Amino acid sequence: MADPSSSSRTERTRVTPNAVSLAETALVQKKLRLLMELRRAGIGDVRVLGAIEKTPREKFVPPAFEDQAYENVALPIGQGQTVSQPYVVALMTEKLELGERHNALEIGTGSGYQTAVLARLCRRVFSVERHRELLRDAERRFGELHLRNIVCRFGDGTKGWPEQEPYDRVIITAAAPQVPATLIEGLAPGGILVAPVGEDHRDQQLIRIRRHDDAFSTENLGLVRFVPLVAGLPRRTEGRGLT
């Protein structure tokens, strides 16, 4: 006679792979819907769309928000920061006009999602983050995804990364009343900087700055909403973590 407990164990092992398969299928469907939404919104660069498709956004959001990973919304990631909505990530990336031989400087690593998208499109990404916890988690994700062309630094992003000047491309993922002059002046001839600008979060503009030898041109790309760009590093208080 067959052992009933053995049969039930077999049933359980059969159910689990199906459940995983269904979850993966649902995730793929959500990602495809998002890609269609991005195309309808005007994102036409196939390389950018491909990078979005290959980057698992669910890995870059807290577990509580994984089911919203492929919705076109910004999500909290801790330390008062957010991961930008996919449309904004795609738009900023597209406006950078990244080539495979470019190096990109990113100010604000955050969860690492924007970083990972950039890394699939250029030679190397140099990313600066002022929150150690966020940077540590982002670097772990890069390792898990085998993204080897990302170099991170804990520091004040408003100062840039002087050792990497001149910059081919610069992307800033937080808003300041004005783009720090050090980042603009650090652009290489032909270089591009994309950043949100505005003191009030209700009136921020996404801008693109191009360097033409010693002259600069600025283009307005529309309204956005970002967390503020903060100079300096978070202060440690005795007996407490980063504040």
Q: What is the pLDDT along the chain (243 residues), one digit of tens a residue?
A: 445 444 444 444 454 556 557 767 888 899 999 999 999 999 999 999 999 999 999 999 999 999 999 999 999 998 889 999 999 999 999 999 999 999 999 999 999 999 999 999 999 999 999 999 999 999 999 999 999 999 999 999 999 999 999 999 999 999 999 999 999 999 999 999 999 999 876 789 999 999 998 899 999 999 999 999 998 888 763 333 332
Tell me the backbone φ, ψ of residue 208, rounded to 5 degrees: -125, 125
| Residue 84 annotated in active site | yes
- Contact (Cβ atoms closer than 8 angstroms) between residue 154 and residue 129: yes
Give the per-residue pLDDT at 241.
37
**Residue 24, pLDDT score:** 78
List the catalytic residue out of 6, 8, 84, 217: 84
Residue 224, phi-psi category: left (phi > 0), alpha (psi -120 to 50), beta (remainder): beta
Interatomic CA distance for residues 126 and 173, integer angstroms: 13
End-to-end, the C-alpha distance of the chain in Å comes to 65
CA distances from 116 to 48, 121, 149, 177, 186 (A): 12, 9, 9, 27, 23
For residue 68, the Cα-to-chain-centroid distance in whole angstroms is 16
Amino acid at 75: L
pLDDT of residue 19: 57
- DSSP, residue by residue, 96-140: HT--TT-EEEEE--TTSHHHHHHHTTSSEEEEEES-HHHHHHHHH
The answer to whether the beta carbons of residues 89 and 118 sit under 8 Å apart is no
* Cα 140 → chain centroid: 15
C-alpha to C-alpha distance for 211 and 170, rounded to whole angstroms: 12
SS3 216: strand
